[in-house]
Structure 1
Amino acid sequence: MRLPLTNPPKHICILRLSALGDVCNLVPAVRAIQQHWPETKITWITGKAEHSLLLGLSGVEFVVYDKKTGLKGMRAIWSQLKHSRFDVLLHMQQALRGSLLSLGLKADLRLGYDKGRAKDWQWLFTDQQLAPRAQDHVLESFMDFPRALGVPLPEPLNPAELCWEIPIPEAAKQEAARHCDFSGLGLAGASSYWVLSPCSTQRARNFRSWTIEGYAELIDQFYEKYQQPCILTGGPTEQELAYAAGIMARVKSPVLDLVGKTSVKGLLAVIQNAQFVVAPDSGPVHIANAVGVPVIGIFATTNPRRAGPYLWRDYVVDCYPKALQQFMNKTSDEVKWGQRVRFEEAMAVVSTADVLQQIERLQADQKIRIEVMQ
């Protein structure tokens, strides 16, 4: 089987296990395939938390892999899919774990990244690769898969044509309504809020979360000027709970702390009702992007041109060039695409003024947009 396909495939398998932000960026590629080939069956192998976010995505059969189960979990998936043979396997997981999992799947064609974008020797596990592309956003790299199959997509992409439609069940909306109660903060009747998700997933030498002091100062300065309360969100990890406690100990303005208290779908509903979201390079910036909520991404150790919230990249707090210069004595043109600044102190180059400036710019632009629509 060669690409592009001349006939619609009967069954496509998508292999992308993690993470929350990445699977959000992948959904438009799924929707593009569905729109072009509505009869094609799609099976998506993904991670446990990621499935919690995507649950109910129309037209997709999910197979869940819990990375904690290791080889045992892989064997369970191979057994589950032993009678399935896919026309195409879209190998979108740039990690050895995903490649090992792919070995037990039956497919006529295995499509992966080109050598320039592949990691962990992924090209050894595929029989066809994407055409090379330099300096792409993560979402654009995912869209290259349906493009390679023969799905007609504009180049560059038209943001207005991107589709997510991640379902939010009624139970999640009710959960969000229960949590978003400001009466205990002396703000009975308050319904307008903004969301701050302060942490990014903690990984070895991967520092993406801004400072506790910076977040607390941002909350107080914004409330002093606009009288709009903040909701803190995040998961139940030790790092996220510590961040929330540190912020709550420092702020003087009313804050609703929901860190570790919502389900993934509940978080989605909380974000959907927010005026805007502030977060570092993490899942919530892409979740907000997926549900059409304005988002201010705080970036210094990763390049927002590659990993920023796709529809809101113009409002990113982009201190990546500053961090490169200060900690690596390099410019963006002197490092490879995707280079991280792996210094724990690097996020401190972001100032509260940097973030407030982008929030106020966003609000001004949104006001103009609403007035024009009226």
Structure 2
Amino acid sequence: MRPSTTPPLPPVKLDRIGIVMMSAVGDAVHVMPVIHALKAYAPHSRITWVLQPGPATLVRGHPLVDDIVLFDRSKGWRGFLETRAALASREFDVVLGLQVYFKAGLITGFTHAPVKLGFDRERARDANWLFTTHRIAPHAGQHVQGQYFEFLDALGVPHGAPQWTLGPWNDDERQWQREFLAQFERPIAPIVVATSKAAKDWMPERWAEVCHLLWHEYGLQPVLVGGRSPRELAAESVILKAAPAAYSALGSGLRKLSAILDGAALALSPDTGPLHLAVALRTPVISLLGYTNPKRVGPYDYAHDLMIDAYGDPSENYPVDMTYREGRVERITVADVAAKLARWRAVYAADRLQLLASRGLTVG
């Protein structure tokens, strides 16, 4: 039985589907299982996704995404006008408003569809519900991935475990991946050195200590990954000075980052998009969470035993909500990460290294 929506949802055709989820890379990763489920249920459907240029580089060429409309927020109001013009000639049967901020509401308002499905009023921040015609039923807090699946439930679209299509998609990208890995004599362990918000970052001095552990105790090559923002470059400088065995691949771009994570023995990351990329690629990932709620944005269905939860106090059963907690990431110690490294070696290492070898992703 289809879950009730407010107002009641009429029968919806799924020939032309629009998706509004524009910004965060992690959220873009969580949208992909929704697209997989939609295409499995309605393989004839044409899916158009409104995205900002950053995550669009990851999605472009995806075999299940038929059309991308860019929204360039850096252009100010001109960006909104350009997106409105691009959407003016596109008609949809249904638009899924998966993002709950005002800017996303404006973009949803630009779309042409009899059904614009969004979050219920309690979860639709910035009056986002004003831009939708129908809203999914209220629901207790849950992981972001589960929230997106609520849209499928409302449409009567079945879904099981999430499915992703990621990693190198063409011969050139696979060749780049092989050449990148071949320069090392050890399996690689990418480290995401910083995020978009300083409160989520771990201290670079501690990352440097972890680099020593990876190199000397685990026979792994630390590889620094991420962008080239001032904070990331500052972290890179500290880490490379204290741990010269580390290698920096900052600024590789999302597609190459995906290839790096896909070929890694292990990844390490705070709460940011590459963490969810690693989960989707089924690369074991040690995740460090303290500022954001792990029950809402932690690894969805993989490597939970490698997650370090500094968000809650010992034995605290905190709710699933969007409350941020300052100063919690600093609680994570090098010893905490070392314990997860030992867990990785005991549970994941052998199978992961065997899988990489079977795929021809060997080093030097």
TM-score, scaled to structure 1:
0.86
Distance in 2 (alpha carbons) for counterparts of 1:280 and 1:225: 22
Identity %: 26
**Who is 1:348 aligned against?**
330
Is contact 1:8–1:37 with CA below 8 Å preserved after alignment?
no
**Who is 1:201 aligned against?**
196
Matched, 1:171 2:155: no
Residue type at the aligned position of 1:47: Q
Partner SS, residue 76 of structure 2: helix
Is contact 1:18–1:47 with CA below 8 Å preserved after alignment?
yes
Match of 2:202 among 204, 210, 225: 210
Is contact 2:20–2:51 with CA below 8 Å preserved after alignment?
yes
Matched, 1:73 2:65: no
The 5 Å alignment of 1:20-39 reads 20-39=25-44
Distance in 2 (alpha carbons) for counterparts of 1:370 and 1:264: 22
Is contact 2:202–2:270 with CA below 8 Å preserved after alignment?
yes
Displacement of 1:222 after TM fit?
A: 2.8
Q: Per the alignment, do residues 195 and 5 of structure 1 end up closer, same or farther by CA in structure 2, a change over 3 Å counting?
A: farther
Distance in 1 (alpha carbons) for counterparts of 2:18 and 2:177: 33
Displacement of 1:243 after TM fit?
A: 0.7
Is contact 1:137–1:306 with CA below 8 Å preserved after alignment?
yes
Displacement of 1:194 after TM fit?
A: 0.9
Match of 2:129 among 113, 118, 123: 123
The 5 Å alignment of 1:124-143 reads 124-143=130-149
Residue type at the aligned position of 1:320: Y
Match of 2:342 among 347, 354, 360: 360
Is contact 1:26–1:143 with CA below 8 Å preserved after alignment?
no
Is contact 1:305–1:313 with CA below 8 Å preserved after alignment?
no
Is contact 2:226–2:249 with CA below 8 Å preserved after alignment?
yes
Matched, 1:242 2:234: yes
Match of 1:46 among 37, 47, 51: 51
Distance in 1 (alpha carbons) for counterparts of 2:112 and 2:49: 14
Distance in 2 (alpha carbons) for counterparts of 1:119 and 1:91: 12
Displacement of 1:6 after TM fit?
A: 4.3
**Aligned residue pairs, count:** 347
Is contact 1:195–1:271 with CA below 8 Å preserved after alignment?
yes
TM-score, scaled to structure 2:
0.88
Matched, 1:320 2:326: no
Residue type at the aligned position of 2:306: Y
Partner SS, residue 165 of structure 2: coil
Partner SS, residue 81 of structure 1: helix
Partner SS, residue 70 of structure 2: strand
Partner SS, residue 95 of structure 2: strand
Residue type at the aligned position of 2:84: W
In the TM superposition, what whole-angstrom CA distance separates every residue of 1:302-353 from its partner, at most 9, and x where no partner exists?
Answer: 111110121222321111113xx8xxxx9553x671211134xx32100111
For structure 2, list consecutive stretches of 5 or more residues without a partner in the other structure.
356-364
Is contact 2:101–2:126 with CA below 8 Å preserved after alignment?
yes
Residue type at the aligned position of 1:166: L
Displacement of 1:101 after TM fit?
A: 1.7
Distance in 1 (alpha carbons) for counterparts of 2:215 and 2:127: 49
Residue type at the aligned position of 2:176: E
Displacement of 1:359 after TM fit?
A: 2.2
Residue type at the aligned position of 1:354: D
Match of 1:285 among 275, 278, 282: 275
**Who is 1:185 aligned against?**
none
Partner SS, residue 27 of structure 1: helix
Distance in 2 (alpha carbons) for counterparts of 1:83 and 1:227: 55
Is contact 1:303–1:338 with CA below 8 Å preserved after alignment?
yes
Question: Once structures 1 and 2 are overlaid, which stretch shifts more, 92-101 or 163-172?
Answer: 163-172
Partner SS, residue 47 of structure 2: strand
Is contact 1:54–1:167 with CA below 8 Å preserved after alignment?
no
Displacement of 1:59 after TM fit?
A: 2.9
Is contact 2:108–2:132 with CA below 8 Å preserved after alignment?
no
Q: Per the alignment, do residues 286 and 350 of structure 1 end up closer, same or farther by CA in structure 2, a change over 3 Å counting?
A: same
Match of 1:258 among 249, 256, 267: 249
In the TM superposition, what whole-angstrom CA distance separates every residue of 1:133-176 from its partner, at most 9, and x where no partner exists?
Answer: 222111111111111111023xxxx5xx3211125233333334
Partner SS, residue 116 of structure 1: coil
